[in-house]
Structure 1
């Protein structure tokens, strides 16, 4: 049975929440010096990119303001460039881009819930 894409959206939001927790109250220097934190953040970015691969094309088209390819591209660079991770880029992404993306993924999740409510309403009216 194929996993519902809303679960992948939840995975993305969970990963963003974890990243926010991991980097709370630390600066860039502390981030790069703390191997556990930097490794955990990179893993969560991989999870975000992997989850995005499972979101249907029509959803991606509807939310075209999300840089889908860029996110997956970053995941691919991290996953396949084991010794070449640029932590300055990772830091910039988690500090600047993730806060912008989080409400967009909440919007997708909200849209899913609204569509389900509408469908339930249609069935009741039949």
Structure 2
């Protein structure tokens, strides 16, 4: 049963990353666009929150799964949930640009191994 849940959480992460990528399909993927577009920032925040929660649940269900920067994703998600007005846009942008591509690759690999 836990394997099913782990797969669901991995899929949730994959969906969240894909949604973030899609948010930039009609706008330039620049920090300036991100900073000036409140709707875009809020959508990214929500998906990072989902990623953080999913990573946290995976870490509880299956300690053998290693996700790079797992603690950072969990902390960012909790930060958005509990202190929603204090996570700086540059931190969110850094996650989008510097960390999500690697997470996307890791999740795709984990999903292919789990199926």
Shorter-chain TM-score category? 0.7 to 0.9
* TM-score where L is the length of structure 2: 0.85
Aligned length: 112
Between Structure 1 and Structure 2, whose CA radius of gyration is higher? 1
Aligned to 2:13: 12
Aligned to 2:56: 53
Aligned to 1:44: 47
Aligned to 1:85: 87
Deviation at 1:17, TM superposition (A): 0.5
* TM-score where L is the length of structure 1: 0.79
Aligned to 1:104: 106
Any unmatched runs of 5+ in structure 1?
114-126
Distance of aligned partners of 1:35 and 1:5 in 2 relative to their CA distance in 1, 3 Å threshold: same
Aligned to 2:71: 69
| d(CA) in 2 for partners of 1:34, 1:96 | 20
| C-alpha distance after superposition, 1:13-54 (max 9, x if no partner) | 000001111134231111111111000000000011111222
